[in-house]
Structure 1
Amino acid sequence: MKALAGLAVLVLALTACTASPTNPVSDTTPSASPNPTETAPPPDPGPRPRIGECHLLSFGQAVAVVGRTEPVRCKRKHTAETYFVGRLDLETKAGHVRRVDSRAAQRQARSTCTARLPKHLGRTPRELRLSLAQSVWFTPSPQRAEAGADWFRCDVVVVAGPKRLLPLPRSTKGFGDAPVVAMCATAAPGTKSFRRVGCGAKHAWLAVSTVDIPGKKLPAKDAVADRMEGPCGDAARSRAADPLDFTWSQESPTQEQWDAGQRYGICWVPA
């Protein structure tokens, strides 16, 4: 985090005159300084975000993390809604001040925002794995943090396609079961035509369940596939009209997804 910078204030020192027998005090009133020193205004920490604010974010802005975008009226087009605002813990046990972009501060914002999203959307954490709704978080800019801003903001967005956010309704409270939020795809996982889309758009495959993958490191691809085969097959069978004739596909997490915290694979069936 950015250490809070002290504001230097210039102070005008006045020297008193002392009378003596050989140097009598003058009756002349000293003239005022032609250039009096002015105290610099304190730095501006900026406005604090509020729950319920809406924002028209681009995909790039949604992943920027640091900075505050101006809210828009929720009845107008918007792609993000603030569902929680918290206070960053910027002071360490040793009495030092963390930077807003430190790992500890960003970890606090990420974990809090992620944990609070399911309740806001009215879904369980496992159900949200099959959703395109995600939490994004923002912290003050370095300049605002130096001025005393210590907030973090949690927004909900829906990733409607490659680097594209879905316009949201006026309120996203309980929005987690909407078809446009459910995760579908244009083709089977692993194919060139595979692209995630909301189930409100044209699609060919549907995400139906997830399989937890234990361990601190991402297992080998074959090991993940073996672990997912049984649960994914069972999920597909339970949805099939003929329990002896069904199709499914399984999607393992990439190393990038694993590092970002996705410790599960996704089971898919034809829509």
Structure 2
Amino acid sequence: MIGHTPRRTTSLSLLIVVLAALALSGCGSDRAAAKGEDPKQVDSTAVPEVGKCRNLTHEDVAEAYNFDKYVPCDEPHNAETFGAGPLPDEFKNAEYGDEKVNEWAFSQCRKLLEKYVGSDQSLLMRSMLSHVYFGPSEKAWEEGARWIRCDVVGGGQQGAEYVDLPTTTRNLLKVKNIADIEDRWMVCAEGKSVASAKVPCSEPHQMRAMTTIKLGEAKTPFPGVAESKKKASQYCRGSVKASLGYPESFDYGYTWFGEKEWNAGNRWAICWAVTEE
């Protein structure tokens, strides 16, 4: 049996704190010049444009806001803005980095991404696609900017490195049979551990994300770390065994998520199987 580790190298735990991250020193044209950003976007109060593409790094995603220059979507890129809009009126007087804004943004972008790529949450969590979100700069926030930008990135899910996206990801996962999805859009692990580096399943790998298990409903309180791991282990064992055709022996693993992700709406565990690929 594979050792089940509590390591949570997933974009989810990172995303929850994106808006709460400290802004880098410097602003306006100085910041744009230092980071190669678009000065027209820096400190802008306008809602971002949908349909724009960029190349983001993990460092970019860790910041509260992002103003990277656009790249043509028919050229190499790993991020696409699939949604943007104003925050609800309830956040009009919220402080910059308010945790409630984080939770709302994470939930809204996730739901919108499911519709955009033609997937449900279960399939999305097993894919190479994940969402990141950004808000306005602190200066723009102080000037009344209240918006959120949702980007889909080619990676980040379970810590995978970013990969290039097609010209558009709209309906990329919308298929009648999951077997019809290209392996390059599904997530696998290089080694025989859920803690090993994540790669597209089109690359050499030893584990594949096979199924997901829902551990609670919308109003279910967080069951705690021990109970979450116990349920994930039990459910994934049965689920992976069934997916493999009920072999006498098999190896599996699982990825579970913590209370912060739970509060943001993630009630799932990901089940992994050791493969012979």
What do residues 204-223 of structure 1 show as CA deviations (whole Å, max 9, x unaligned)? 22221122224612334455
Note the C-alpha offset of 1:227.
3.6
The CA distance in 2 between the partners of 1:165 and 1:256, in whole Å, is: 26
Matched, 1:74 2:64: no
Structure 2: any 5+ residue segments left out of the alignment?
A: 1-18, 20-42, 174-180
What do residues 95-135 of structure 1 show as CA deviations (whole Å, max 9, x unaligned)? x7112421122222111101111111111221112112111
CA contact (8 A) 1:197 1:203 kept: yes
**TM-score, with normalisation over the residues of structure 1?**
0.70
What do residues 76-109 of structure 1 show as CA deviations (whole Å, max 9, x unaligned)? 22210000112112545xxx71124211222221
Which residue of structure 2 lines up, in the alignment, with residue 62 of structure 1? 61
CA contact (8 A) 1:252 1:264 kept: yes
Note the C-alpha offset of 1:251.
1.3
**Which of these residues, 125, 141, 147, is aligned with residue 137 of structure 2?**
141
Structure 1: any 5+ residue segments left out of the alignment?
A: 2-43, 238-242
Q: Which letter does structure 2 place at the counterpart of 1:108?
A: W
The CA distance in 2 between the partners of 1:190 and 1:165, in whole Å, is: 18
Q: What is the Cα-based RMSD across aligned positions, in Å?
A: 2.8
Q: How does 1:183-262 map to 2 (within 5 A)?
A: 183-189=187-193, 194-214=196-216, 216=222, 217-220=224-227, 221-222=229-230, 224-237=232-245, 244-245=247-248, 247-253=250-256, 255=258, 261=266
Which residue of structure 1 lines up, in the alignment, with residue 47 of structure 2? 48
More helix by share: 2
Structure 1 residues 224-233 or 131-140, which shifts more? Answer: 224-233
Q: How does 1:156-171 map to 2 (within 5 A)?
A: 156-159=152-155, 162=159, 164-171=161-168
Query: What SS does structure 1 have at the residue aligned with 2:225?
Result: coil
Q: Which letter does structure 1 place at the counterpart of 2:94?
A: R
Tell me which of the two structures has the higher relative contact order, counting C-alpha pairs closer than 8 angstroms and 6 or more residues apart: 2
Note the C-alpha offset of 1:142.
1.0
CA contact (8 A) 2:64 2:137 kept: no
Which residue of structure 1 lines up, in the alignment, with residue 4 of structure 2? none
Note the C-alpha offset of 1:201.
1.6
Residue identity (%): 23
The CA distance in 1 between the partners of 2:44 and 2:101, in whole Å, is: 18
CA contact (8 A) 1:68 1:138 kept: no
Query: What SS does structure 2 have at the residue aligned with 1:75?
Result: coil
CA contact (8 A) 2:215 2:267 kept: no
Which residue of structure 2 lines up, in the alignment, with residue 84 of structure 1? 83
The CA distance in 1 between the partners of 2:141 and 2:121, in whole Å, is: 32
Matched, 1:267 2:275: no
What do residues 35-83 of structure 1 show as CA deviations (whole Å, max 9, x unaligned)? xxxxxxxxx7444311100111111112323243332221222210000
Note the C-alpha offset of 1:262.
5.3
Which residue of structure 2 lines up, in the alignment, with residue 35 of structure 1? none
Q: Which letter does structure 2 place at the counterpart of 1:203?
A: H
The CA distance in 2 between the partners of 1:60 and 1:185, in whole Å, is: 22
Distance 1:86 1:178, change over 3 A: farther
Choose 1 or 2 for highest CA Rg: 1
Query: What SS does structure 1 have at the residue aligned with 2:116?
Result: helix
Which residue of structure 2 lines up, in the alignment, with residue 174 of structure 1? 171
**TM-score, with normalisation over the residues of structure 2?**
0.69
CA contact (8 A) 2:207 2:272 kept: no
Which residue of structure 2 lines up, in the alignment, with residue 39 of structure 1? none
Q: Which letter does structure 2 place at the counterpart of 1:209?
A: T
